[in-house]
Amino acid sequence: MPTPWERDLDDTRTKLTGWLATVMPEASEIAVANLAAPSTSGFSNETLLFDLTWKEAGEPRQRAMVIRIQPTGFQVFPSYDLGLQFRTMKLLAATDVPVPEVYWLEEANTDLFGAPFYVMGQVKGRVPPDNPPYHQAGWLTEAAPNERAAIWFGGFEAMAKVHRLDHRSAGFAFLEAPELGATGLDEQIARYEKYLEWAARGKPQPTTEAALAWVKENRPRDEPRCLVWGDARIGNIIFDGTKPAAVIDWEMVCTGSPEMDVGWAIFLDRHHSEGINTPRLEGFPSYEETIAHYEKHSGHTVAHPHYYQVFAGFRFAVIMIRIAQQLVEYGIMNRETGEGFELNNTVTQLLAKLLDLPAPGATTGSFSA
């Protein structure tokens, strides 16, 4: 979904050029061209693309750049730490996890965009689309079955690289929050229980509340702890051909069981297929094959696949409550439709199916990012 606001790009270009001069003291003749918002820019943050040219020691230089701006409107998450995403990619640059090159983080001076932002390099390639979902339309529908399989497996190989890291040695110990629970799973359950309370605003959420109760009652114990990508899925990978060129969107990064990412990726793929009554494309490996491939590359055993798919569905359902409210706030849905959409959408429908719960109410809706 495009953002419901538009910037004055000429004014932004002028301000951006001036700001770049302050962070590039060795550069001269700095110029910003082709400044634009991509059509896929969403509500969770704002993105601008531009081409940067300059001279350094008399030599001409150029680089395609991306600006990610912290949201200033209606927020989907209770809090949003743009700097965390920047620092995560900065730390990952020293590992074998492919990430975009990050350059500058601006948290103090909000005069330029009205919010903190960072600048990173553009990575050439293609991303499997969410809108419409890749099983339904887009470039993957035109790919050969063996290419689809390579892309799908490549996503899980990139995920395995994240999970093979010693998160403490890599600098991610700061993500642990022992005050919320003894394990990473306990921490995340506590966070999303608070998130649900904040998002629901005192209104019953039958499917999501039932899922929370089930998740708490059936939680595995003594889970391993590693770096968790959070929003792990092929739709957050830039592919060069069939190879992952960059793993992006780290706004949900945390620590915990690697199965959090495995369950999230599978639940999102199920949402993009059976959740919208669309067959998976030919060539996509089965989930059993997927788990075996992931285990081979990660060294982790997936012991609780159903649990972590339900946990993924619960978290996504909480996020959907807030997305429904956001659609009302921006006038895309009226209040009555939006309140029905909070309860009954393609995410809660699939979640109810996983838990053998009664189907949500009569109002239906689908989600596109």
Domains of the chain (ranges plus CATH)? 9-121 (3.30.200.20), 139-355 (3.90.1200.10)
Whether the CB-CB separation of 205 and 342 falls below 8 Å is answered with yes
Q: 3-state SS of the chain: helix, strand, coil percent to 5? A: 45, 15, 40
| Burial of 332 (C-beta count, 10 Å sphere; 0-12/13-18/19+) | middle
pLDDT at 111: 86
- Quick count: other Cβ atoms within 10 Å of Cβ 71? 17
Across the chain, how many H-helices and E-strands are there?
A: 10, 9
pLDDT at 369: 42
pLDDT at 44: 61
pLDDT at 1: 42
Residue (of 159, 153, 152, 170) closest to 258 by Cα position: 159
Distances 267 to 109, 219, 225, 308, 313 between C-alpha atoms, Å: 39, 18, 21, 9, 7
| Tens-digit pLDDT string for the chain (369 aa) | 444 456 788 999 999 999 999 999 999 999 999 999 886 545 567 899 999 999 999 999 999 999 999 988 788 999 889 999 999 999 999 999 999 999 999 999 888 888 999 999 999 999 999 989 999 999 999 999 999 999 999 999 999 999 999 999 999 999 999 999 999 999 999 999 999 999 999 999 999 999 999 999 999 988 899 999 999 999 999 999 999 999 999 999 999 999 999 999 999 999 999 999 999 999 999 999 999 999 999 999 999 999 999 999 999 999 999 999 999 998 999 999 999 999 999 999 999 999 999 999 744 444 444
Read off the amino acid at residue 358. P
List all residues 6 or more positions away from 178 whose beta carbon is below 8 Å from its beta carbon.
187
Whether the CB-CB separation of 117 and 69 falls below 8 Å is answered with yes
The phi and psi torsions of 364 (rounded to 5 degrees) equal -120, 165
